[in-house]
Structure 1
């Protein structure tokens, strides 16, 4: 009886099967490697510091110099004009509530708001909004808030403030006006405060009123004290018939007319005249009888207009010390035989750029001073 042969050990059997040995060895190595790598990964996660996140802002956009200046002005204006808005409280049935009488103050107006106004009763007449003469915007005696055909564009300038309203300029009207009257370029006033609102005027027969009416008309009465200001109106004019003309007028304080960049008239108080221009003859005719202080009419230099020829025109009005303001501008054509007033003054037509509205006519005729309203309209259309 033979005894069964003992089985060789597992390792010896694997040696006889090399492929199986390789497979078992590879599996053992992978298990060992996975165990080691997994243990290291878990250790690093548990011991790693908390990550910090840094947000890098995008680089600032380049700002051109003109855009930078505009943004700086906008920021300054926002700082100077910002106020809290008051919200009213509405009650559906106030009769059901038994509340004590409480005096609620009216909301204060924004003292620095810049907006155009045309209050007929306060600014001295006009057709108001959408007047019967076909105009749009608000009409004041200093011009309309919307452009009108043939009108001159008016710019209000305050010589007590720089253009950013941050400091008082070194020079005032007398110095700046001297430079302006050399070339009638509005850029000479660029460093002073200019009202954003433009007005468009077609005549310059403005009755006596408080000097604060001009800042009101330009919407800057809360920003500008009513002294040391001028309004410059510029554009073109022409005569369809042609001829030789001169401007005649007076003002409290000043009225200046420039034709093609040359002074044709300075009227008003001589102490407010920054130029060397003087009339050929001393003033001799009485002004409208509205104040004992308004100077006599000044006659300007003669100039020629060919039929239909357009020329540059500048009209400057202003009040320097403050108080009251008025200006009266006429035009005279050489060779025309005008009717005479009792004092010998020729009754001249007022200078106008388009036909007058009924409101304008009523205001102009209200002082009883003889003048003509049927003269030529010199607007360039």
Structure 2
């Protein structure tokens, strides 16, 4: 996304005057350099003429018979054909200075050094204030490439200790461990005794269409050590609010997803309630409803979209979490937890709703199409993600949740 700036007539006229002054200055400097060069040549020649004859001979040769090595100045002034590399260099410098600028066309030469430097202002506006290298990658479970405005993910296997010994934890036991972690304000020490994948992944959004649970151990490169049950992954980072206002996360996890924003649990939805450790979707729905009631917010709202039958039928669609407020430019900590308990199919989606600016986009049923929560320019596609999966779900059980392609960017810092 880039911002094109249209110059005012006054600014355009001032720019032309500046270029003209710079050109006159350049010509004056060139003339002065030629004069000084000529003066230097003249004084050098006079110096050679006034030198004393060599002490070992009585013969003083005429000036024109002197060896070429005795006339360094004349040698420096000889014209030489320009090489290919030297002729290209100036154009490269000009292109580097003017290339990134998006502005109205102006018939102004670009040979002014001041003009090229001044265009740095245009680069700042062109990036929309998001900075260089914000990137557009890091979807699904993430990639091994850090940076580019992403959140760091760590994978835990609750079935084995750090040394690889079995813990004997069953499905309810694994859910209890995750519950204890959530209730302990997401303290890392709760999970410190469980196996952690050496590989860390970095993601810019949370959009994983329904697939087989083996996809997670495969992504974290531990499929040879970890079975696809009773595991969790936690993503952490800090994000900068793109605007001031009221927001709420809308999403689901299969099995479950939880979001902690600014040190507060604002979403917990899926097959299980991670806050209460209750098994089955009725428990998850009741748990989120209780959170909303305690916060004196409106009843639980669900968003269902065509083409997502598995999630619509079993979970009622995506659940809307608690409202939170932010101020533009301020930084907030965020943590996202995804988990799979019994194995089988697995996936998650995390959208965000701007409560002060309701979405005008609707699906065929009139359901608002919300923004994707993202930290860079990522635009995940279910079709592309399925193509790149090693363990995709069957074609009849796939999902494709729509989202606003013009979603805000919560830049990771």
Same fold by TM (over 0.5)? Answer: yes
Preserved CA contact (<8 Å) 2:204 2:374: yes
Deviation at 1:344, TM superposition (A): 3.6
Q: Distance in 2 between matches of 1:185 and 1:177?
A: 11
Q: CA RMSD in A?
A: 2.9
Q: Which residue of structure 1 lines up, in the alignment, with residue 307 of structure 2?
A: 289
* Corresponding residue number in structure 1 for 2:245: 243
2:408 corresponds to: 376
- The answer to whether the 8 A contact 1:179-1:188 is kept is yes
Task: Give the direction of change, closer, same or farther, for the CA distance of 1:367–1:226 in structure 2 (3 Å limit).
Answer: closer
Distance 1:343 1:359 in 2: 21
- CA offsets 1:50-72 (integer angstroms, 9 cap, x no match): xxxxxxxxxxxxxxxxxxxxxxx
Specify the alignment match of 2:221 in structure 1: 219
Using the TM superposition, give the Cα deviation of residue 380 of structure 1 relative to its aligned residue in structure 2, in angstroms: 2.5
TM-superposed CA distance for 1:178, in Å, is: 2.0
Q: Is the 8 A contact 2:309 2:399 kept in 1?
A: no
Match for residue 377 of structure 2?
A: 355
TM-score (norm 2): 0.54
Call closer, same or farther: CA 1:187–1:291 in 2, change over 3 Å.
farther
Q: Distance in 2 between matches of 1:347 and 1:312?
A: 26
Alpha-carbon shift at residue 144 of structure 1 (Å): 1.3
Unpaired runs of 5+ in structure 1? 1-132
Which structure has the greater CA radius of gyration? 1
- Structure of greater relative contact order (alpha carbons < 8 Å, 6+ residues apart): 2
Q: Distance in 2 between matches of 1:292 and 1:301?
A: 25
1:154-169 aligned at under 5 Å gives the runs 154-168=153-167
2:182 aligns with 181
Partner residue, 1:148: 147
Equivalent-residue separation in structure 2 for 1:224 and 1:369 (angstroms): 29
The verdict on how the C-alpha distance between 1:344 and 1:273 changes in structure 2, with shifts beyond 3 A counting, is: farther
Residue 366 of structure 2 corresponds to residue 341 of structure 1: no
Residue 179 of structure 2 aligns to a residue whose secondary structure is: helix
For 1:278, the equivalent position in structure 2 comes to: 288
Question: In the alignment, is the contact (CA less than 8 A) between 1:249 and 1:298 conserved in 2?
Answer: yes
CA contact (8 A) 1:208 1:290 kept: no
Indicate conservation of the 8 Å contact 1:184/1:262, yes or no: no
SS at match of 2:303: coil
Question: Residues 290 and 284 (structure 1 numbering): CA distance in 2 closer, same or farther, change over 3 Å?
Answer: closer
- Structure 1 position 153, deviation (Å): 0.7
1:188 aligned counterpart, secondary structure: helix
**CA deviation digits over 1:67-101, x for unaligned, max 9?**
xxxxxxxxxxxxxxxxxxxxxxxxxxxxxxxxxxx
> Offset of 1:167 from its aligned partner?
2.7
Determine the structure 2 residue equivalent to 1:329: 350
Determine the structure 1 residue equivalent to 2:256.
254
Task: Determine whether 1:197 maps to 2:199.
Answer: yes
User: Are the aligned partners of 1:140 and 1:217 in contact in 2 as well (CA < 8 Å)?
Assistant: no
User: 2:227 aligned with 1:228, yes or no?
Assistant: no
Q: Normalized per residue, which structure has more helix?
A: 2
Tell me, what secondary structure is at the counterpart of 1:144? coil
CA distance in 1, matches of 2:411, 2:189: 24
The normalised TM-score by structure 1 is 0.59
